């Protein structure tokens, strides 16, 4: 990065008016809830770039009462000199002209990038007001804007002996609907990730909206190694040290750098998080495929060379079982499959990552043979378990559970054969199943009563045969008619397009046992029919907790607050009415009519749709919640007690 990067090297591409007219094109859909927070990422990214350029080691983010937010960094400060072409200060150009930023050349490029990479000017355009304060050349400079338009020239307001930039803004709430308040948790989670990816950069977030300020501080000298340690914090790791690999390659437009941290544990899932220029690519892409290729090749060639392998080569899945890894690529001109940058498609990255990882991991294994053996042994075990699971599934298939085979006797099917209108209720217990069968709309609602607790599949990861042999589980697979398993290569894997019902509704009692049974069912669906959850076919029925009766009039309450509200209302005209309150302990206590009216009638019921914000998080949640480790589970439940009872996975 050249140090004489002054006012004249700022490029100007477009005007700003467009942003307010079509905010969706620049900052994301202002109605989907994420746009408001994109404004923050966009502003913070500029400060992260100052860190990447080597000039900034701290960012302070303040969330303030009144809907304003400020981002302060200790970088060089935005240049304040006159811009030759525009005859206004460079700072004003950066703050008010779209795409104005550092020159894109080989020695300096914007590395960190917001969702759309349009810069702080786009945020300025959608802000009721914005203020920039620049510490530079011993002076404090300031300028104010309203809806992106300067209301005064940049002027000196004081003196200082440090450098840096502070940007304060108030988003224009006539543009943002849906989510209109900054959410501390969301900001904290995202900026924690930013801190992990920028070793040595301190990010302090302060929420000033409560009675006391709430401060969250992130500084990770260990960077992505520390990130991996954190992902594995509740797992038994196979080797103490996180493996760190870095490398770089020249391409036509500049330098591509690869930073990678990896560590295996006794877990069964793989957690690989991919980033390009500090942006998460949740669907992976060419860096991920390069990494996967290199891992399979390195582990197999080491295993063969040292005679650790008896049978066939290890598959990629075997090698990656229990792996936690961060791959962070910096690229001067990356391509993505979509605006949201979920998947990196720059093809050269695949072979760059593959060669860097293959070379360095091979060296690492040679230098750490005992650790390498542990990794190979774990993959061999994974491979044996996978083979056993395949055989068990094959046996199940031959018994007709996966195709043909007829419907299970316990299923009360619906009349319609159009999956789009059909629903299946998975009901806890035979007595509730009986009420549901009588109360349902038999044209479109099928009932499958399940006896007692279904198998905890999380504890059978090394003995999958037991899952396929389980009666209740075979019954579910048969009733759905859509196969089982998540292996994309296997034709008999779960395919939601074959589902006989487009709504799978879990209906359990509103008590602790019911919550446990619901979690067991969700665990099975997540591990064996993942697409059902990911693609939104799974729902949770909401039976009422109370029936409140006054004379002939009765109402249902789904929460304690609702109960109290109903009682108050009933007492309005007669405070002495001694009102009847029935607490439903189970679905079985409701007669078929009540069950239909409160819980099953599609016109009036409320149901929760099961969604996944993040597949990695859900993987880990089931691992902890349903796995073997008791202290971990207790800790997790204590920490997430509220979420667990609401089961918002
Ligand atoms: C253009 C050029 C230089 C720095 C910046 C922009 C800059 C922008 C922002 C936005 C927030 N914080 C920022 N810090 C810096 C380089 C200036 C130089 O060469 O001294």
Q: Is residue 571 part of a domain?
A: no
Same-domain pairing of 368 and 412: no
Catalytic residue, chosen from 49, 318, 509, 619, is 509
User: What is the CATH number for 381?
Assistant: 3.30.230.10
Long-range contacts, 437-441 (Cβ 8 Å, 24+): 437/412, 438/592, 439/591, 439/592, 439/593, 439/594, 439/595, 439/596, 439/600, 440/412, 440/414, 440/596, 440/600, 441/596, 441/600, 441/601, 441/602
The backbone torsions φ and ψ at residue 607, rounded to the nearest 5 degrees and listed phi first, read: -130, 155
Structure-model confidence comparison of residues 281 and 103, the more confident one: 281
Confidence label for 103 from pLDDT (cuts 50, 70 and 90): very low
Question: Within this chain, do residues 496 and 537 fall inside the same structural domain, yes or no?
Answer: yes
pLDDT for the residue 4: 39
Q: Could you tell which of 40, 78, 112 is best to mutate to test the pocket of ligand 1, judged by most ligand atoms within 8 Å of the CB?
A: 78
Question: Domain of 191: which CATH number?
Answer: 3.30.565.10
- Whole-number mean pLDDT of the chain? 89
**DSSP state, 455?**
P
Q: Do 112 and 189 fall within a single domain? A: yes
Taking the CA of residue 3 as reference, the ligand 1 atom at the shortest distance is 19
Lowest mean pLDDT, pick from 23-27, 166-170, 430-434? 23-27
What do you get for the CA distance between the two ends of the chain, in Å?
45
Q: How far is CA 183 from CA 32, 65, 339, 544, in A?
A: 14, 12, 24, 31
Q: Does residue 392 lie within any of the structural domains?
A: no
Whether 509 is a known active-site residue: answer yes
Among candidate residues 156, 189, 218, the one where a domain is terminated: 218
Report the pLDDT value the prediction gives residue 404, as an integer from 0 to 100.
66
Residue 20 near residue 147, CB atoms below 8 Å: yes
Q: What is the distance between the alpha carbons of residues 484 and 525, in angstroms, rounded to a whole number?
A: 9
Residue finishing a domain among 170, 203, 218: 218
73 C-beta closer than 6 A to ligand 1:
yes
DSSP letter at 453? P
Query: Do residue 178 and residue 237 come from a single domain?
Result: no
Is residue 12 predicted with pLDDT exceeding 50?
no
User: What CATH number corresponds to the domain at position 499?
Assistant: 3.40.50.670
Task: Please give the pLDDT value at position 640.
Answer: 62
Reduce the DSSP state of residue 14 to 3 states and report it: strand
Do 367 and 450 reside in the same domain of the chain? no
Q: Which domain holds residue 279?
A: 223-387
Is 158 within a domain? yes
Is the Cβ atom of 50 under 6 angstroms away from ligand 1? yes
Q: How far apart are CA 51 and CA 65, in angstroms?
A: 28
75 lines ligand 1 (CB under 6 A): yes
Coil, helix or strand for 369? helix
What pLDDT was estimated at residue 142? Answer: 98
Q: Are residues 321 and 452 in the same domain?
A: no
Whether residues 234 and 148 fall in one domain: no
If pLDDT is split at 50, 70 and 90, which confidence band does 107 have?
A: very low
Assess whether 482 and 342 both reside in one domain: no
Q: Model confidence at 451, in pLDDT bands (50, 70, 90)?
A: confident
Choose the catalytic residue: 32, 511, 560, 569. Answer: 511
Residue 353 within a domain: yes
Atom of ligand 1 nearest to the CA of 120: 10
- Say if residue 353 is in the same domain as residue 411: no
Choose the final residue of a domain: 333, 358, 387: 387
Under 8 Å between Cβ of 74 and 58 = yes
Report whether residue 543 contacts ligand 1, using a CB cutoff of 6 Å. Answer: no
Q: How far apart are the C-alpha atoms of 79 and 344, rounded to whole Å?
A: 33
More confident residue, 191 or 589: 191
d(CA 232, CA 324): 7
Which residue out of 61, 77, 107, 109 has the highest number of ligand 1 atoms within 8 Å of its CB and is therefore the one to mutate?
Answer: 77
- Of 467, 317, 473, the C-alpha closest to 392 is 467
The reply to whether 152 and 96 lie within a common domain is: yes
What is the percent of the chain where pLDDT is above 70? 92
How far, in Å, CA of 522 to CA of 526, rounded?
6
Q: Are residues 416 and 447 in the same domain?
A: yes
378 and 437 assigned to the same domain = no
Query: Would you say residue 211 lies in a domain?
Result: yes
Name the least confident of 236-245, 308-317, 628-637: 628-637
User: Is 8 a residue whose pLDDT tops 90?
Assistant: no
More confident residue, 14 or 465: 465
pLDDT in tens, 196-247: 999 999 999 999 999 999 999 999 999 999 999 999 998 999 999 999 999 9
Least confident of 38-47, 236-245, 316-325, 581-590: 581-590
* Residue 47 CB less than 6 A away from ligand 1: yes
Residue 627 lies in a domain: no
- Atom number, ligand 1, closest to the C-alpha of residue 47: 12
pLDDT of 143 = 98
User: Where is pLDDT greater, at 84 or 499?
Assistant: 499
- Catalytic annotation on 428? yes
Residue 127 lies in a domain: yes
Check: CB of residue 98 under 8 Å from CB of residue 16: yes
Query: Quick check: is 599 in a domain?
Result: no
**Tally of domains within the chain:** 3
Q: What is the pLDDT of residues 114-140, one digit of tens each?
A: 333 458 999 999 999 999 999 999 999
> Is residue 325 lining ligand 1, measured as CB closer than 6 Å?
no
**Residue that wins the pLDDT comparison between 188 and 179:** 188
- The finding on whether 110 has its CB within 6 A of some atom of ligand 1 is no
| Confidence band of 5 (pLDDT split at 50, 70, 90) | very low
- Is pLDDT of 550 > 50? yes
Sorted by sequence, the CB contacts under 8 Å of residue 293 that are 6+ apart come out as: 350, 354
Number of H helices, E strands in the chain: 21, 22
Question: What is the enclosing helix (H) or strand (E) of 275?
Answer: strand 271-276
């Amino acid at each position: 990065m050249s140090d004489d990067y002054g006012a004249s090297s700022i490029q100007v591409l477009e005007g700003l008016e467009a942003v307010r007219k079509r905010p969706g094109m620049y900052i994301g859909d202002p109605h989907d809830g994420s746009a408001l927070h994109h404004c923050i990422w966009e502003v913070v990214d500029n400060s992260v770039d100052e860190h990447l350029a080597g000039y900034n080691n701290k960012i302070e983010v303040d969330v303030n009462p009144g809907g304003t937010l400020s981002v302060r960094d200790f970088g060089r400060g935005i240049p304040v000199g006159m811009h030759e072409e525009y005859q206004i200060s460079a700072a004003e150009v950066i703050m008010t002209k779209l795409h104005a930023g550092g020159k894109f050349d080989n020695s300096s490029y914007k590395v960190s990038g917001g969702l759309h990479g349009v810069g702080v000017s786009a945020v300025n355009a959608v802000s009721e007001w914005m203020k920039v304060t620049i510490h530079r050349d011993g002076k404090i400079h300031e300028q104010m804007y309203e809806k992106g338009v300067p209301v005064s020239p940049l002027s000196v307001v004081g003196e200082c002996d440090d450098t840096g930039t502070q940007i304060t803004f108030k988003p224009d709430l006539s543009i943002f609907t849906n989510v209109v308040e900054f959410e501390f948790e969301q900001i904290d989670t995202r900026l924690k990730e930013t801190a992990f990816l920028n070793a040595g950069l301190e990010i302090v977030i302060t929420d000033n909206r409560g009675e006391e300020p709430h401060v969250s501080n992130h500084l990770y000298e260990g960077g992505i190694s520390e990130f991996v340690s954190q992902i594995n914090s509740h797992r038994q790791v196979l080797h103490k040290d996180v493996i760190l690999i870095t490398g770089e390659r020249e391409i036509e437009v500049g330098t591509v750098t690869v930073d990678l941290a990896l560590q295996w544990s006794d877990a069964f899932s793989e957690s690989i998080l991919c980033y390009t220029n500090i942006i998460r690519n949740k669907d992976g892409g060419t860096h991920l495929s390069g990494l996967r290729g290199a891992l399979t090749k390195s582990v197999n060639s080491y295993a063969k060379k040292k005679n650790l392998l008896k049978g066939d080569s290890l598959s990629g899945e075997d090698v990656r079982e229990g792996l936690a890894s961060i791959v962070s690529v910096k690229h001067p001109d990356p391509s993505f499959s979509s605006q949201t940058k979920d998947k990196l498609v720059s093809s050269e990255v695949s072979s760059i990552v593959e060669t860097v990882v293959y070379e360095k991991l091979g060296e690492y294994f040679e230098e750490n043979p005992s650790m390498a053996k542990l990794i190979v042994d774990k993959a061999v075990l994974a491979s044996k378990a996978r083979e056993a699971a395949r055989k068990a599934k094959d046996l199940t298939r031959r018994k007709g559970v996966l195709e043909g085979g007829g419907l299970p006797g316990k299923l009360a099917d619906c009349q319609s054969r159009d999956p789009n209108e059909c629903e299946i209720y998975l009901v806890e217990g035979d007595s509730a199943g009986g009420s549901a069968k009588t109360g349902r709309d038999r044209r479109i609602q099928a009932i499958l009563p399940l006896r007692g607790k279904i198998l905890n599949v999380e504890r059978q990861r090394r003995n999958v045969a037991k899952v396929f042999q389980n009666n209740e589980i075979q019954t579910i697979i048969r009733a759905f008619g859509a196969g089982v398993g998540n292996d994309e290569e296997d034709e008999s894997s779960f395919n939601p397009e074959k589902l006989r019902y487009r709504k799978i509704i879990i209906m359990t009692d509103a008590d602790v046992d019911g919550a446990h049974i619901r979690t067991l069912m969700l665990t099975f669906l997540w591990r064996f029919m993942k697409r059902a959850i990911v693609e939104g076919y799974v729902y949770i029925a909401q039976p009422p907790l109370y029936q409140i009766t006054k004379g002939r009039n009765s109402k249902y309450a789904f929460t304690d607050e609702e109960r109290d509200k109903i009682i108050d209302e009933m007492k309005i005209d007669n405070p002495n009415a001694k009102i009847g309150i029935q607490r439903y302990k189970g679905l079985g206590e409701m007669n078929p009519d009540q069950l239909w009216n409160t819980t099953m009638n599609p016109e009036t019921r409320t149901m929760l749709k099961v969604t996944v914000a993040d597949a990695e998080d859900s993987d880990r949640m089931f691992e902890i919640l349903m796995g073997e480790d008791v202290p971990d589970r207790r800790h997790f439940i204590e920490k997430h007690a509220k979420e667990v009872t609401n089961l918002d996975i």
